[in-house]
A and B are shown apart, each in its own frame.
Chain A
Amino acid sequence: MQLPAPAPSLVQEFTFFQREGCSMRVIKVEETQIASWTRTLLAQQRVVAVQERDERFVFDDLHQAEDLRLDHDVTLEPPLRYFLPQREELVSYERPGRYAQPELGARPFVLLGLHPYDVAAIRQMDEVFARGVPDPHYQRRRSLATLVACDVETPSSNVFAGAMGTAVVREGYDLLLTRIGRTYLVESRTAKGDGLLALFGDDALDAPPADLRRREAVWRRNRQGLRQHELDCPPEALPRLLLASYNDELWQERSELCLSCGACNLVCPTCYCFDVQDVVDWDLKSGRRFRLCDSCMLQDFAKVAGGHQFRLRRDRYRHRFYRKGLYMPERFGFVACVGCGRCIDSCIAGVASPVDVYNALLDRHPEVLTEPVEGLGKKSLGQAIEALLGREGLEEAGPGARVQVQTRATRLQAEEPAVALPQAATAILPLEQLAAKDPYVPEQATIVEMRPLTQSETFYRLRLESGRPLGHESGQFVQISLMGIGEAPISVSSDPGQETAFEIVVRRVGNVTEALERLRPGDTVGVRGPYGTAFPMADLRGKDILVVAGGIGIVPVRSAIQEVLRNRGDYGRLTIAYGMRAPEDRLFGDEIELWRQEPGVTVLETVDHLEGLWHGQVGPVTTLLPGCGIDPGHTAALVCGPPVMYRYVLSDLIAAGMRPEDIYVSLERKMKCGIGKCGHCQINGVYVCQEGPVFTYAQVRNLPEALQ
């Protein structure tokens, strides 16, 4: 495995990836020396170690060396909690408008007693929180930790790390302890590890070859022994298996037994989704924003403020297994299950076991182990995700084909676990950068104009206090913060060419939007972003532009309309088909009348229900499409509206001869972070905040969760 050499400035902060300059030494010590070494360690720094509590084991601050246990089966909670705590302060604030990064702890600590599967999990999470927008909170905690692993002495009742290739790790820790009879072998893998190794004293002896061979025997025993459950296929084959299983009846059957309690996620060492909540102090001015570990099993996980529920119980149940076995492999290159068995321990309904589910699917789809991916029939889901992740080159082969499927025998011989560790590690940022680039801290913006557009929608023009332009592109969104209330994703509605300010339109559907409505010009809000993908306006030059908007869907596309009108000569005809429930829901009425007068612009409007004065049509927005005079080969369609609208509009556009690549949709999902971490906005394996919100229809038509 090739790892990048760290920049010199990183070495002190974070030596995790560093192997050069480390002794790689293995010494042999007596069992009793571990206790005295732990005492020395305790005198020097904070030690978090495995200890017994009520007949189970936990990671907790170690106060005396005697409490250390290295013979534990599995800890109740994963060590991830020391890097992503169950509850963690993200932002502190003081109204009006001071947002600050909370103190990122500075106290180094040793995490002692990690089993290999947990080391593999930490390694995965390192990658998750480093890739894309780095997460300063995770990285800070992680950089302060020294990882001391120990090989498993007592298998837990549900461990299947052997089946996942994580029973033994040769990488990812600073120090590794392996019990050999009444002695321990202690191996250093990093400079940090060398430091801990030195605490055994100068007279510590190198482990003799015979003992190294006995350690090999321990590893062999664990690779074969940590299999209380057997996975009937190599883990590398899971993506292929899942591609063939999306519509299996198993999901419905088993989800009927799922309590949606979230236990499986909350004890998982590779589940990292989080919720964000504000708490305001009694002075009503200061407060803090927290993130809390969340679960994709919970009923409201994918429910948006408007009330639409994007995943029902069956879909939520399925999502977890797909995330572990397909979506994470697609995005990060590893199967995100390390076989610790904690989910099995914690599920009182007995439906959380990944091996149970995967084996049951294998019984139903044995062909996935033998047939080439092309024969699996349901490869489209994987292709769609891969294409969106910018890996079109692999499209031909399909995702499952990328991994060499090994037989079980060859895997047992393999030194390194194949699928659990990231292939290449993204480095952790140095401290000063972590502090300077905190993506969770909003900028302050002032409301320079605000007026109601309808009964429930309000228009705002905002200016960033820093004076910098927002720098958005048409179709992108921002996270709008009201301290003490919360944060909500809101589409930017104005022309990117407007440099000094930007505009949003907010429908009153939730707490943040209701509180926004009570603000007045001169008040401030927090802004993060712009985030997400945009309509590719430059690429659309020369084409006719057809905008299909339903209800508040006119808001994000308005920026594109303004951009087209500003560069009128660059585009062909502009046709706007706008549907709304009733005339009083019409947004930007005055502006629409101005659009109408521009050359080459047609605006068609319709209402669902007619009450009162109305000059347009009556019926759903699709009734306007025949009148749009679509020139299929020459038109780009920008479509935005309520979830129910897409299916009908898209099928009509395709029927009119348009190509899926020329149809752009803007999709709404629940969002908490905006930077691809919190997990809420996922459509199958795709993040709406990263790969969206603007997609082509070609990109999402094979994602079953996109346009249901």
Chain B
Amino acid sequence: MLKKWRIQAPLHLMLIPGLVAILIFSYIPMAGIVIAFQKFVPVKGIFGSEWVGLQHFRYMIQLPNFTQILWNTTFIASMKIVAGIVVPVSIALLLNEIRKEAYKRTIQTLIYLPYFLSWVILSGILIDILSPSRGVVNQFIVWLGFDSIFFLGSNDWFPYTLVISNEWKEFGFSTIVYLAALAGINPALYEAALVDGASRWKQTLHISLPGMMPIIVLMATLSIGNIMNAGFEQVFNLYGPAVYESGDIIDTFVYRIGLEEAQYGLATAVGLLKSVVSLLLISVSYFLAYRFANYRIF
């Protein structure tokens, strides 16, 4: 027992700085969650504001367009989650086939660039290139013989435009972690496969993909937690009353409520609701994976 402790002690010791930091900078401020149950008025502070119980949650659910907003949010977010796994994994695998190292690095760097531009800038560019009358994308569509599409102004297209343009911005950056996973695969495995005469495709299927699997599962699990986050910045910069029907999400709506006055109570309540949903989804995935595959995702 004592020996076991002696071996383990350094491990516990290593955790101390991290634990202390999150205690101070995460757990203590977490007391502020109580604001979600208050009619928070800044001048009364956290300890003096009036308690209103679940009023903010009730208010949210009773909003005349709550179901629509909730649907928009989860619909857009879940498409983004799926695209956010499928696209980067595929691109990582495609990049893995590139043998010319310099070329591969160049591509990697170039696809990483859009991540660093804010939606304020990207939205201006998108509105131009997606314009039905003057945008290059529609000129191409018309050239192919189809009717032009009002990507940002039509409720049929708006959510998909959001997902695709978001992926355009993010996939290069998201690819990095999968490339790291590929780099971590033992080359001996490929050599063995080669001896067995496995094709590149077979190698991808039986070595690369399984090798990436822990990271894919991890990223998927963590991103499920974003089911209520459809991307405020992006939607805010691209939407308007014409596409409220398909594009107004929880965050943009709460933002517009907040314009009237500082609604900290409501904003905190919304945040708390999202956190609870995330926690539920993540922990369910975690325990299912543990139960049925005896695998701890993290």
Q: Do A and B come from one complex?
A: no
